[in-house]
Amino acid sequence: MTLQQLRQILAVADSGSINEAAKRLYITQPSLSATIKAVEKETGISIFARSNRGIITTAEGEEFLGYARQVSEQYQLMEDKYLTGNAYKKKFSVSLQHYTFAVEAFIHLLRQYEEDNLYEFSIFEGRTIDVIENVRKQVSELGIIYENAFNENVIGKILREGELEFVPLFSCNIYVFMAKSNPLAKKDLIRMEDLMDYPCCTFDQGERNSFYFAEEVLSTYSYKKFIKVNDRATILNLMVGLNGYTLCSGIICQELNGPEYIAIPLDTEEKMCIGYIKHKKMRLSELGKKYVEELKAYEFQQSGPITSKKTDE
């Protein structure tokens, strides 16, 4: 197969229509259809399937397109640097669960390239399954998620099926994240029973709203008050307006969240291991390596260690 064929197939995937892609590429529809058939025959897979809505990408096709995009983009970078004389554009993309520290690490990485005239950086916050899918499809080089004893078997199975791997960064105790105006904010240690009268806020996981995909630990606990949201700003508003809370790693970024919030240790033996996911067969880019180093700097930045099991005062 050729680079031209890959780019033609990518155009079909992006437009969702062979006819539309042919118009954009200034070639005939039969010629484009022949290209698809030739590549499918060479690879032994079906990249596209027809439906009432046009063409859809198969599961095998999604994986193929991920590799095709990488090949096309890498060739473009090489062409810009060595053949056309254009300046080299740095590219990096990461997907993540709703971790403020991971956003701050992204900012720190980007600041290293503020004086560069050309770069294309992408960051996607979203549901756990979307983070995994973005890495599998190579929309993102890395995905930032957590594993623990409860979800590691289910998450691990999905990663293996997608030829992905989870690389641990650091282990965290569990903290209660809330507004400083919350009546519990003056405690040194919070027990689950202390939280019963306050709403627990959690990020909605959509159709895959399984306990195993929850971004928060203790997802099977029977909460009296429970609010699902899909936006970080909304959670912060609920913490102020309703004395809501969420369970987190305890890594607080006041520069981004503001000084109005606090993380207090939770009286539990539970832990969470934060790490990144990547394709097993792919090495990290230089930007990927630098981003991982930025993340590692947060290992010892929890709000404070849990030193003892205190009783309610």
Crossing angle for the helix pair 29-43 and 3-15, nearest 10 degrees?
110
Mean pLDDT of 79-88: 65
pLDDT digits (tens, 9 = 90+) for 136-155: 988 899 999 999 999 999 99
Task: Give the whole-angstrom CA distance, residue 207 versus residue 81.
Answer: 43
pLDDT digits (tens, 9 = 90+) for 14-28: 888 888 888 988 899
- Helix (H) / strand (E) element for 100: namely helix 100-111
Strand order in the sheet with 261-265: 226-229, 200-203, 245-248, 175-179, 261-265
The secondary structure of 71-89 as a DSSP string is HHHHHHHHIIIIIS-PPPP
pLDDT digits (tens, 9 = 90+) for 182-232: 999 999 999 999 999 999 999 988 776 678 888 888 888 889 999 999 888
Q: Contact, 179 vs 264, CB < 8 A?
A: no
Q: Contact, 45 vs 64, CB < 8 A?
A: yes
Q: Contact, 203 vs 131, CB < 8 A?
A: no
Q: Which of 57-61, 240-244, 273-277 has the lowest mean pLDDT?
A: 57-61
Flag whether pLDDT at 121 surpasses 60: yes
Task: Give the whole-angstrom CA distance, residue 84 versus residue 225.
Answer: 60
Mean pLDDT of 221-250: 91
As a whole number, the mean pLDDT across the chain is 87
Instruction: Write down the pLDDT at residue 88.
Output: 65
Instruction: Write down the pLDDT at residue 87.
Output: 61
Question: Which residues, listed in sequence order, are joined to residue 172 by a DSSP beta bridge?
Answer: 272
Instruction: Write down the pLDDT at residue 128.
Output: 93
Q: Which amino acid is located at 139 in the chain?
A: V
Instruction: Write down the pLDDT at residue 81.
Output: 67
Flag whether pLDDT at 51 surpasses 80: no
Flag whether pLDDT at 40 surpasses 50: yes
Instruction: Write down the pLDDT at residue 304.
Output: 46
Indicate whether this model's pTM tops 0.75: no
**Residue 49 CA: distances (Å) to CA of 16, 46, 185, 220, 290:** 11, 7, 55, 39, 39
Mean pLDDT of 65-79: 80
**63 against 85, higher pLDDT:** 63
Instruction: Write down the pLDDT at residue 306.
Output: 37
Mean pLDDT of 246-261: 88
Task: Give the whole-angstrom CA distance, residue 210 versus residue 136.
Answer: 20
Q: Measured in whole angstroms, how far is the alpha carbon of residue 110 from the centre of its chain?
A: 17
Ramachandran category for residue 295: left, alpha or beta (phi over 0 → left; psi -120 to 50 → alpha): alpha
Instruction: Write down the pLDDT at residue 311.
Output: 34
Task: State what percent of residues in the chain have pLDDT above 70.
Answer: 93
Choose the CATH number for 171-270 among 3.20.20.60, 3.40.50.620, 3.40.190.10, 3.40.50.720: 3.40.190.10
| Maximum separation of any 2 CA atoms in the chain, in Å | 78
Helices then strands (H, E): number in the chain?
A: 10, 12
Instruction: Write down the pLDDT at residue 157.
Output: 94
